[in-house]
């Protein structure tokens, strides 16, 4: 963190750029409405299912899992092959099934019931130390739990945001997602983490694509470091 703090010094220009891009994205896509946080455990499982797959496949896997096992206790009691069968549309089904089962087992052993309500009273560092240490929960999954399950002001960095962030100069070119999470903290406009997160993802999917960026229709070319002429 000390190294990051040294890099943050004198970065007012980058902070202003992030704020400007946030406003331009809101002008184009609107301001996402912050809904009431979902159940933390539901959000956590859904985010695990989202790893390395599309939203459509994640949603299908989650719906199948909940249809087959209406309560998380039923998932814990189920055989691994039954969980794998339910979540197969989300990809990496065997790996995700083991991770989900392991997390549910840990929660049940700790709390005596299937609930993550206890994290609501924890600080960011406490949640990071407690939940972030579980297998299968990386920085993005942890930050999604905080943002969507607890309503905290945090900024998850997925593959779209990592790519677009580098093209816009928010992130150093060689930085990975794990380091990108603490890096972005001082540059986020107050109260805009949800807006910037969702709108950057939308922008990355529709305009600033990985293989075929639509630079001819891009409204952020003035802020891009690598526009294709």
- pLDDT tens across 194-228, in order? 999 999 999 999 999 999 999 999 999 999 998 76
Q: Yes or no: say if 57 and 91 are a contact pair by the CB < 8 Å rule.
A: yes
Is 26 a domain residue?
Answer: yes
Radius of gyration over every alpha carbon of the chain, rounded to an integer in angstroms: 19
For residue 60, what are its two tokens? 């299908």
Interior/surface letters 83-115, b for 16+ CB within 10 angstroms, e for the rest: bbebbbbbbbbeebbebbbebbeebeeeeeeee
- Give the whole-angstrom CA distance, residue 31 versus residue 79: 43
**Residue positions annotated with a catalytic role:** 140
Same domain, 26 and 80: no
Is 22 a domain residue?
Answer: yes
Same domain, 124 and 206: no
Same domain, 75 and 93: yes
Same domain, 143 and 71: yes
* Res 229: pLDDT: 57
Q: Find the Cα–Cα–Cα–Cα dihedral 160, 164, 170, 175, rounded to 10°.
A: 60
| Domain edge (last residue) among 104, 123, 150 | 150
Same domain, 139 and 188: no
Q: Yes or no: say if 64 and 87 are a contact pair by the CB < 8 Å rule.
A: yes
Banded pLDDT at 163 (limits 50, 70, 90): very high
With CA atoms as reference, report the closest residue to 100 among 90, 197, 150. 90
Same domain, 44 and 146: yes
How many domains are there within the chain? 2
What's the start-to-end Cα distance of the chain, in Å? 38
Phi–psi pair at 110, nearest 5 degrees: -75, -45
Is 125 a domain residue?
Answer: yes
| Domain edge (last residue) among 128, 150, 172 | 150
- pLDDT tens across 76-112, in order? 999 999 999 999 999 999 999 999 999 999 999 999 9
* Res 27: pLDDT: 98
Give the structural domain span for 184. 2-33+155-223
Is 130 a domain residue?
Answer: yes
What angle in degrees, to the nearest 10, is found between the helix axes of 80-87 and 93-111? 120
Same domain, 134 and 45: yes
Same domain, 46 and 24: no
Q: Find the Cα–Cα–Cα–Cα dihedral 116, 118, 123, 129, rounded to 10°.
A: -60
* Res 132: pLDDT: 93
CATH code for the domain of 60: 1.10.340.30
Q: Across 74-229, where does the E strand assignment appear?
A: none
- Give the whole-angstrom CA distance, residue 225 versus residue 96: 37
Is 229 a domain residue?
Answer: no
Is 228 a domain residue?
Answer: no
Q: Yes or no: say if 157 and 184 are a contact pair by the CB < 8 Å rule.
A: yes
CATH code for the domain of 192: 1.10.1670.10
| Domain edge (last residue) among 96, 130, 150 | 150
Residue 68 has pLDDT above 90, yes or no: yes
Q: What does pTM read for this prediction? A: 0.90
* Res 2: pLDDT: 52
Q: Give the whole-number percent of the chain exceeding pLDDT 90.
A: 90
- Give the whole-angstrom CA distance, residue 52 versus residue 90: 8
Say how many C-beta atoms besides its own lie within 10 A of residue 161's C-beta: 23
């Amino acid at each position: 963190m000390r190294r990051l703090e040294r890099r943050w010094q004198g970065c007012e220009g980058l902070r202003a750029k992030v704020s400007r891009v946030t406003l331009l994205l809101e002008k184009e896509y609107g301001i996402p409405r912050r809904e009431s946080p979902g159940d933390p455990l539901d959000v956590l499982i859904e985010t695990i299912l989202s790893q390395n797959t599309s939203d459509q496949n994640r949603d299908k896997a989650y719906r199948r899992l909940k249809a087959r096992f209406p309560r998380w206790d039923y998932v814990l009691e189920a055989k691994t092959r039954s969980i794998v069968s339910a979540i197969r549309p989300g990809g990496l089904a065997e790996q995700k099934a083991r991770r989900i089962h392991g997390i549910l087992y840990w929660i049940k052993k700790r709390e005596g019931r299937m609930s993550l309500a206890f994290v609501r009273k924890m600080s960011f560092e406490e949640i990071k130390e407690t939940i972030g240490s579980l297998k299968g929960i990386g920085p993005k999954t942890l930050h999604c739990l905080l943002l969507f399950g607890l309503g905290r002001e945090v900024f998850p960095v997925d593959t779209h945001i990592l790519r677009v962030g580098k093209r816009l100069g928010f992130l150093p070119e060689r930085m990975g997602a794990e380091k990108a999470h603490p890096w972005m903290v001082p540059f986020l406009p107050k109260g805009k983490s949800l807006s910037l997160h969702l709108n950057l993802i939308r922008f990355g999917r529709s305009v600033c694509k990985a293989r075929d960026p639509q630079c001819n229709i891009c409204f952020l070319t003035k802020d891009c470091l690598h526009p294709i002429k």
